[in-house]
A and B are shown apart, each in its own frame.
Chain A
Amino acid sequence: MAIGWYLVVSALIFAIGAAGVLVRRSPLVILLCLELMLNAANLALVAFSRMWGGEDGQVFALIVMVVAACEVTVGLGLIVAMHRRRLPIDVDDLRELQG
C-alpha cells in the first residue's frame, strides 16, 4: 500500500485537531484536540519509518507519546486548579497576559 493514504489520514486528523483548537473555547477540549494533532504527527512518523525501513521514526513516536502524556498531566492539573479557584473554564476569558 502506498504511503500516500497514511499521510492523507494524518493530515486529516491534524486539520481536525487544529480546527478544534481554533474554534473550541473549553480548555479540556483544546487539550483533546492537541492530542489529536500530536497523534496525527505520530502517524506520519510511523508511516515514514515504515517507508524507509528504519526504526528512528518509531522511536520518535514513542517520545512524542511521552511528551504528550506529560503535557496532558500538566494541562489537566491546570484545569483542575482553575476549577478549584472558580476561574472561568474558558480560554477567551483568561486573557490577562496581554501587551
Chain B
Amino acid sequence: MAATTFGWLVLLCPIVGTVIIALGYKRLPGRTPGWIATAAIGLSFVCAIVMLVKLLDRPEAHRQLTSSLWNYASSVGVDAKLQILVDPLSVFMVLVVSGVSTLIHLYSVSYMAGDRGYSRFFAYLNYFVFSMLLLLLAGNFLLLIVGWAFVGAASYLLISFWYRRTTATRAGIKAFVINVVGDVGLVLGTFFIFTHTGTLDFLKTFAVAPHVFHHDSTDLVVGCLLLLVGAFAKSAQIPFHTWLPDAMEGPTPVSALIHAATMVTAGVYLIARMHPLFELAPTAADVGAVGGCLTLLIAGTIGLAVTDIKRVIAYSTMSQIGYMIMGVAAGAYSGALFLLMAHAFFKALLFMAAGSLISAMAGNQSLDRMSGFRRALPFTFACFVIGGMALSGLPPFSGWFSKDDILAYLNHRGGGFEIMGIAGYIGAILTAIYTFRMIFRAFFGEPCPEAKELEEGHLAHAEVPTNPQTGEVEDTDVGFPGPEHHIAEREWPMKIAMGALAALATVGGFLQIPGVDDAIRRFLAPSFATSRLAAAAPSTGADWIGLVIGAAIAVTGVAVAYRIWVLAPGTAAVVRERFAPLYRLFVNKWYFDELIDLAIVRPVAWFGQVTDTVLDRDLTTSVTTGGTVSVVDALSAAVRRAQTGFLRYYVALMLLGISGVVIYFLVSS
C-alpha cells in the first residue's frame, strides 16, 4: 500500500474512536472510554510510522505525494477536493502530534478518572486529534480551513469542559471568538492568493505562485498578512494571545495537548507550509518574525510575575511559540520545526507534572501556596526538573539544541534579524529564570501542609471543592471537576506517559546535532527544496558558537533564579518593591486584556446597545413593524364588526348581494 493510504488511516482512527465513545458512552464501563481513545490515537501513531517508512523508501525527489478521495467541486476554476498531501513536513508533524497525543491520552486515562464527564472528555479529545491531523495532512486550502476551524471548535469544547464553571465557559468563548478572527483571516488570505493562482491545491499554488506574483506584490503581501492573522490567533501571538492564559481553565491534559503541544503550533506549521509564498512576500514574513520576537519577550516578562502555575507555563508556551514563529518567518524552518517537536515533548511533560502537582494540592494552582514538594512527589519533581531544564535550554536537553539552532540562524542572516537573535537570547534568560522560579518555589523550601501530609501518605482532598480562580464553592457533579485527585506517583499510566516524555525531552535533541547527524534538516529537506532561505543555513562552526552562548545564558538564568529564590528568599520582594511600576505592568499582563476591552469590546458593545435601542426598538419595533401592525389591526377591526353571528343577518346580506349582482347583469345586458 502506498504512503498516502496510511495517511488516510491516520485520519480514520481518531474519528472512529470519537464515534465509538460518543455513541457508546452509556455502555462503556469505568475507564474503557479512555483506553479506547488511547488505542485509537496509538493506532494512528503506528500508521504514521508506517507512512514515514514508506516515504523514506522513495527517492528524495519523489517524497511529495498527494491523494484525493473525492471531488467536492471541480468547475469554473475551483478544484475543491478531499485531498491529503503527504510530504516530509506533514509526516513530521503527524508523528509529533499523534505520538505526543497518545501519551497525553494515556495520562488522561488516570488523571480524569474521577470526573463525571469521562466519556465526553475522551470523545472530545479524539475529535481534537482528528481535527489536528486533518489540518496537518490537508492537501489544499479548503481542507486546511476545515481542519483549522474544527481544531478551534475542539479547543472551545475542551476549555469549557467543566461547563458549570463560569470562568471556564467565559474562557472558552474568548478562545473561540479570537480563533474565529483567525479563521476569517485565513479564509480571506486564501481568497487573495486564490484569485491569482486559480487553484486551491498547495503544490500547484506553490508552482504557479512565482509566475503570477512578482516579488513582494501587494496582493500577495496582503494575503500572507491575512494568513499571519490566522497563524497568530491560533498560536496565541501578540495581539491575539489573550485567550491562551485563560484557556488554562480547561483540564490539565487539555492544556498539555492542545494549548502547549499541538494546536497552538498550527500557526508555525501554517507558515512553514506556506513558505514559498512567504519567501515571495518578505514584507509579510518580516512582520511575522517581529510579531514572534515581541511575543517571546512580552510573554517571558509576564511569566516572571504571574503566580498561577499553569498560567506561568502558558506564558512560556507563548514565548516558545514566539521563537518558532520568528524562526519560520525568518527562514530557519528546520530549527523552528525542531523546536516545535522538542517543545511538544517538554511542555507536555511540564503540564503533566504540573497536573500531578495540582492534584497533590487538591486543585489549587497558586505558586504562593505550594512549596517543598521535592520529597513528597519525587517522580513529579524529576519530570518537572527535566522539562524545566529542556525549556530553559540547558545542555544536553532538546530545548538547547533546538532553540539555539533558530538563534544561530537569525544571527547568521544578519541585519534586523541579528537584533531579533539578541532579543531571543534575552528571552532565553527570562525563560530560565521563570522556569526555575516555578521549580524553586514549588519543590524547594519548607514543605506546605499538603506536602507534609503527602509525605505521610495522605493525598490532600479539598473539604469543599472551590474554583481556584474565584474561590466560588462548587460540587463534584458533572460539569465540575470530579472528587478524586490523581498524582503520578500512584497511577502507572500517568507515570509511563511522563516517563516517556521525560526520556524524549532528554534525548530528542540528539536528532539534530550540528555537524553530527542533522537528521531533521535532512529529513525535511524535500519539503523545503525550492526554498532560498533554507539553503542559506549557518555553518556548523557558527551553530556550535550559538549553542555555547545559549548554554551560558541558560546557566546564568538558572543561577539568577537560584540566587533569588533559594539563597536569599527575600530578594523577590525587594526587587518587586524596587521596580514597582514594572512589576505592576508584568503582573497585569501588559494590560492587553484592558486594552482590547477598551479598543474593541466596549465600542462593539456600545454599538450593539445603540442598534438595539435605536434600530431595533425605536425604528423596527415602533415604526416599521408597529405601523404595519396598527394598520392591519384597524382594518380587521372594521371587518370584524360585520361578523355578528346572527344567521339571518348573514342570509339577508347574501340575498341582497346576489340580488345586486343579478340586477347589475340584467341592467347591463
Contact = CB atoms under 8 A, between A and B. Distances in A.
B600 interface: no
Interface string B623-647: 0000000000000000111111111
A23 B652 CA distance: 10
Contact of A95 (B639, B640, B641, B644): B644
B648 A98 contact: no
B655 interface: yes
A18 B645 contact: no
A3 B459 CA distance: 115
B647 A22 contact: no
B655 A25 contact: no
Interface in A84-99: 91-92, 94-99
Given A18-B655, A99-B639, A92 B648 contact: yes
B455 to A, nearest CB: 86
A98 B640 CA distance: 8
A25 B648 CA distance: 8
Kindly state the interface size class of chain A when it binds its partner.
10 to 19
B651 interface: yes
Contacts of A44: none
Contact of A22 (B639, B641, B642, B651): B651
A21 interface: yes
B249 to A, nearest CB: 59
Nearest to B659: A18
B647 A98 contact: no
Contacts of B648: 21-23, 25, 91-92
Contacts of B639: 99
A43 to B, nearest CB: 18
Nearest to B655: A18
Nearest to B643: A99
A97 B645 contact: yes
B642 A99 contact: yes
Contacts of B641: 99
Contacts of A92: 646-648
Interface in A14-63: 18, 21-23, 25, 30
A78 to B, nearest CB: 12
B645 A98 contact: yes
A22 B652 contact: yes
Contacts of B640: 99
A98 B651 contact: no
A1 to B, nearest CB: 24
B645 A96 contact: yes
A94 B646 CA distance: 8
A95 B651 contact: no
Contact of A94 (B643, B647, B655): B647
A2 B110 CA distance: 109
Contacts of A23: 648
B642 A91 contact: no
Interface string B647-666: 11001100100000000000
Nearest to B642: A99
Nearest to B637: A99
B663 to A, nearest CB: 14
B652 A98 contact: no
A92 B652 CA distance: 14
A32 to B, nearest CB: 14
Contacts of B647: 30, 91-92, 94-95
A91 B649 CA distance: 11
A35 to B, nearest CB: 15
B643 A98 contact: yes
A22 B654 CA distance: 11
Contacts of B652: 22
A21 B645 contact: no
Contacts of B644: 95, 98-99
A95 B646 contact: yes
B530 to A, nearest CB: 81
A70 to B, nearest CB: 20
A91 B648 CA distance: 8
A99 B646 CA distance: 11
Contacts of B645: 95-98
B73 to A, nearest CB: 55
Contacts of A22: 648, 651-652, 655
Interface in B573-591: none
A18 B652 CA distance: 9
Nearest to A25: B648
A21 B651 contact: yes
A25 B649 CA distance: 11
Interface string B501-512: 000000000000
A14 B375 CA distance: 113
Nearest to B639: A99
A98 B644 CA distance: 5
Nearest to B646: A95
A98 to B, nearest CB: 3
A18 B644 CA distance: 20
A98 B645 CA distance: 4
Nearest to A27: B647
* Max chain B C-beta neighbours (<10 A), residue from A18, A91, A92, A99: A99
A99 B643 CA distance: 5
Interface of A: 18, 21-23, 25, 30, 91-92, 94-99
11 contacts: A21-B651, A22-B648, A22-B655, A91-B646, A91-B647, A92-B647, A95-B644, A96-B645, A99-B639, A99-B641, A99-B642
Given A22-B655, A99-B639, 5 more contacts: A22-B648, A92-B647, A95-B644, A97-B645, A99-B642
8 residue pairs, one from A and one from B, having the closest CB atoms: A99-B643, A98-B645, A95-B645, A99-B640, A91-B647, A98-B643, A21-B651, A97-B645
